[in-house]
Amino acid sequence: MIYLDNHATTAVHPEVVEAMMPFLTEHFHNPSSGYRASRIVKNTIAEARGQVAELIGAREEEVIFTGCGTESNNMVLKSLARIYGRKTSRVITGEIEHSAVLRPCQAMEDVGFEVHRCGVDGEGRLRLDEFREACEGAETGFSSIMWANNETGVIQPVGEACEIAKENGIAFHTDAIQAVGKTTVNVREVPVDFLSISGHKFHAPKGIGALYLREGIRFEPLIRGGGQEFGHRSGTENVAYIAGLGKAAALMKTALEKDQHAKIAANRDHLEKRLCEEIEGVTLNGSREHRVPTCAHVSFEECEGAGLLILLDEAGVQVSTGSACMTGKQQPSHVQKAMGISDEQAKSSLRISFSSFTTREDTDEAVERIKMAVKKLRQVQGGSGVGPVVVYS
């Protein structure tokens, strides 16, 4: 099996599993208790907090642990909604955000908030002129712009957007779930107010995330109780998973410092080059210059992405489509629509995403199997580009 769906989730690193195991067995104690064994657990949480902080250039006390990236996004947006209120504030976001941002914003709009959604250009990058106009026209408010897109891997101009927001007194949150661990993210160089992290996107387990809160920033907790996480997120800490997230952060920091991600980018570029040279009608979507090293977003003329997905799954290659299937009818994703990609091209898209575990042999074998799947599907669809979603061997 060749796994090329690393933007959906990544395999847990063996060293992360090793770091977690003692806290699932021997060191099971509650970190809030007062005896020696609990202090060992409490110190582990502090160490992991420091590891996550180092990865993003933050202070330890600016990092809190959450259950996942979606929780981190919701915590920030709902906190800001309570702080600013709906009477005079404006919510500013992007058209290509993840649903963990778009749906909370829609919920705010439903109860009377003014929500402004900024568009992107043909390469999938935020239109800064629209963002500036939205910020300058706001009496007060807050913004949320992702660091890197989950579907295309395109890196957004977060530094410029953050600067514009600050100039206009607009609080700035970034969903950095697809950026942290894949590219350099430093909250001192890009002074965002809030930043969301998800562990399973960089070889930690599912069910653990983190949230960066700039020191001194106002924050209203969503979960209240025993006052854990500096009072920002109550509940007994998930120690084993926190230890795993810390270890994964340390591994990613080392990989970035040693430019080990260049190998990932090389495999991605190799796959794209071969696909373009060896298959007719291939289009690469999104910016080539501004993107994380882990993602290729590719359209195949006269092929349905859903059909390709099924054939590749049967051939032992795991990827994802560049569009969502809803109630049995394939629709172009909101990301591709925002980029101006045609419905036909959008429905023929695949997201192929890599990790440090992806080898050159995997990459070459995946290309061969994609070539066979495209050929077979085009024969079935008869060159029309429209055919059955389910393709029988």
Catalytic positions, please? 325
Report d(CA 214, CA 329) in Å as an integer: 43
Paired tokens of 203 = 């070889």
Element housing 336 (H / E): helix 334-338
DSSP class of residue 122 equals T
Query: What residue type is 271 in one-letter code?
Result: L
Element housing 64 (H / E): strand 63-66
CA distances from 166 to 22, 59, 96, 388 (A): 44, 21, 22, 50
Query: What residue type is 46 in one-letter code?
Result: A
Q: Which residue has the tokens 């909250």?
A: 187
Paired tokens of 347 = 């429905």
Say if residues 300 and 281 touch (Cβ distance below 8 Å). Answer: yes
Report d(CA 165, CA 173) in Å as an integer: 10
370-393 residues labelled b (16+ CB within 10 A) or e (exposed):
beebbebbbeebeeebebeeebee
CA-nearest of 165, 145, 166, 164 to 156 is 145
What are the backbone angles phi and psi of residue 38, rounded to the nearest 5°? Answer: -70, -30
